[in-house]
Structure 1
Amino acid sequence: MSIDVTRLDADEFDEWDRAVDRSPEATVFHRSAVLERLADYTGAELYPLVGYKGQEPVGILPLFEVEKGPMRAAFSPPPAAWAEYLGPARLNMAKLSRRKAERRHQGLLDGCFEYVDETIDPAITRIDTGPRYDDVRPFQWGGYEVEPQYTYVVELTDEADLLDRFSSDARSNIDTSYDADYTVRAEGERAVGRILDQVERRYREQDRPVSMPRRFIDDLAVALPDEQLRPYVCRVDGEFVGGILALADDDTVYRWIGGVRPERDVALPVNDLLDWRVMTDALADGRSRYDLVGAGAERINEYKAKFDPVLETSYRVHSNPLLFDAASWAYEQFERRRLSMAGDGTDGRSGLLSGAAAGLFDRK
């Protein structure tokens, strides 16, 4: 099926965001405000591709071209920016028969990658889909490698039903009256840095150096409305003890960054109270899903599972397996070095790469 694929210009981003609003598979990371800042932060070139059947949009695919040394790569999203999901998102297909919908989906991807091959000609491609994009067969048929990724999603109904579904310890942690002067609420932009600082310290305590994309997140905090990016903070006696940076789209709130173990010993379950506040605010805002962002770490999953979430699957799609792993790591290391030298407050991550692999994304 013939689908015409067009790259939108910046002055057409209203059209892009209307498509995002109409797609049940799009996420907050698909919004133009996020994409523009991802491109600026990583130095990548953004390709916001839209597929049309006649005048009707049938799908979108945001891609980022990265060129380092002799190699070009296409990412969605780009590495080293902590954007969780991107990839294709379909729209205007719900009323079609399965046969027509699958043909249209195949035509969308064929058109996108024909455009990419002619325009970018990437040596490697990596795409991380959203959890509502459920059909990666066209990628497999096209020779791409597909790896499942997992997340937990709490279905938000009402407060009483939620508590009834939670584990007994979660219910107790939320319902108990504590002999402490504490607050849990969404705060302003200044709280973003406190949350990022705490996450970085926690990673270092575990000998897991991490590079937080501070400038990208700070820019998002300014660009997105308050209801789309909120830093939730728990304070005891007025002092910061923990926080979660949450992102939101029309029906989903994402537990994006934070929720690590508090550094101070306090007599209350900080993260349970933070998660509960995010969920109750989401309910008040009319949202129906709380994406806990990740379900692949056994140690952390025990905590997340007590909220009775549904396990959902997303996918990492990539081409050229022989080059993919080495080139992706080389690029991420390059980005961390670049941002550190630029005074972005990041640190490098150690890793062993062959000279050839490291050279794939060396500074031009």
Structure 2
Amino acid sequence: MSFSKDARQNIRSTDEAAYEVYVGEEKDLMRTNEMITQRHEEHDATYNVSSSFLLDLYEALPDGMMNVYLCKVADQFAGGHITLETKDMSYGWQGWGDVDVDIPVNDLIEWTIMNNARDKGAEWYDFNGANVQRLSKYKAKFNPELRAYKRIEKGMPGMDFVSEVYKRIR
């Protein structure tokens, strides 16, 4: 009930027969990353997460820790979100949704991710990246609890590498 009226209406009023949201497979991770890359290019935004890095991460992490949630509308791929999940929290890491369809793709994917996380026992869903100005208004409609975080810009030798790795997975 704390979501905005728009988010609640999108989740409750969208005909469930008009879309499908599900957890995809490894091949879907690559396709989703291609679409995320394209979306960043459209906004002249930097996106340095390569498909090979994602594949390495997917294969290295325990099953179920990295997931890709997909949305299909009329049997067409309409969105995808990559999550990192622990027992206590689900992190919405990267995602995109087709804005040219009449279905609120992103809202429906986010809602599915939240429900799946809750069903697994997680108490928190981290939208990750509320400080991205073009996305903050969208994320605010889910009434998030803001939390401060720290970012390392310069450090001791070796820490720059750790910082780079963190930036890629955050």
Corresponding position: 1:223 with 2:63: no
Q: What residue in structure 2 maps to residue 271 of structure 1? A: 106
Q: What's the TM-score, normalizing by structure 2?
A: 0.84
Match of 2:98 in 1: 262
Match of 1:214 in 2: 51
Alignment of 1:163-178 (within 5 A): 164-178=1-15
Cα drift, residue 297 of structure 1: 2.2
Aligned residues: 157
Q: Which residue of structure 1 lines up, in the alignment, with residue 168 of structure 2? A: none
Say if 2:22 is the partner of 1:191: no
User: Do the aligned partners of residues 204 and 175 (structure 1) sit closer, same or farther apart at CA in structure 2, a change above 3 Å counting?
Assistant: same
Q: Deviations over 1:38-87 (max 9, x none)?
A: xxxxxxxxxxxxxxxxxxxxxxxxxxxxxxxxxxxxxxxxxxxxxxxxxx
Distance 1:179 1:249 in 2: 28
Query: 1:202–1:261: 8 Å Cα contact kept in structure 2?
Result: no
Deviations 1:154-211 (A, max 9, x none): xxxxxxxxxx111110000000132863200111111101111111111111233533
1:281-296 correspondence to structure 2 within 5 Å: 281-296=116-131
* Residue matched to 2:86: 249
Matched residue of 1:267: which SS? coil
* 2:150 aligned with 1:315: yes
Partner deviation per Cα, 1:211-266 (whole Å, 9 max, x = no partner): 322212101212223321110000012221101000011201000111x3416x21
Indicate yes or no: 2:139 matched with 1:304.
Answer: yes
Within 5 Å, which residues of 2 pair with 1:126-145?
Answer: none
Query: Shift of residue 274 of structure 1?
Result: 0.3
1:1-364 to structure 2, matched below 5 A, reads 164-178=1-15, 181-258=18-95, 260-262=96-98, 265-319=100-154
Q: Please, which moves more after superposition, 294-303 or 194-203? A: 294-303
Identity rate, percent? 37
Q: 1:179 to 1:219 in 2, by over 3 A?
A: closer
Partner of 1:22: none
**For structure 2, which runs of at least 5 residues remain unmatched after alignment?**
165-170
Take 2:119 and 2:36, find their aligned partners in 1: how far apart are those partners? Answer: 28
Letter in 1 for 2:117: A
Q: Structure 1 pair 177/314, CA: closer, same or farther in 2 (3 Å)?
A: closer
Kept in 2: contact 1:165–1:307 (CA 8 A): yes
Matching residue of 1:41 = none
Q: Which amino acid aligns with 1:246?
A: T
2:18 and 2:115 mapped to 1: Cα distance? 21
Rounded to whole Å, the distance in 2 between the matches of 1:238 and 1:318 is 44
| CA gap 1:209/1:307 in 2 versus in 1, 3 angstroms | closer
Separation of aligned partners in 2, 1:179 and 1:283: 20
Mapped contact 1:253–1:289 kept (Cα < 8 A) = yes
- The one-letter amino acid of 1:243's match is G
Structure 1 Cα separation of the partners of residues 154 and 41 of structure 2: 33
Greater gyration radius: 1
Distance 1:317 1:223 in 2: 25
- Please say if residues 180 and 236 of structure 1, whose CA atoms lie closer than 8 Å, have aligned partners that are also in contact: no
More strand by share: 1
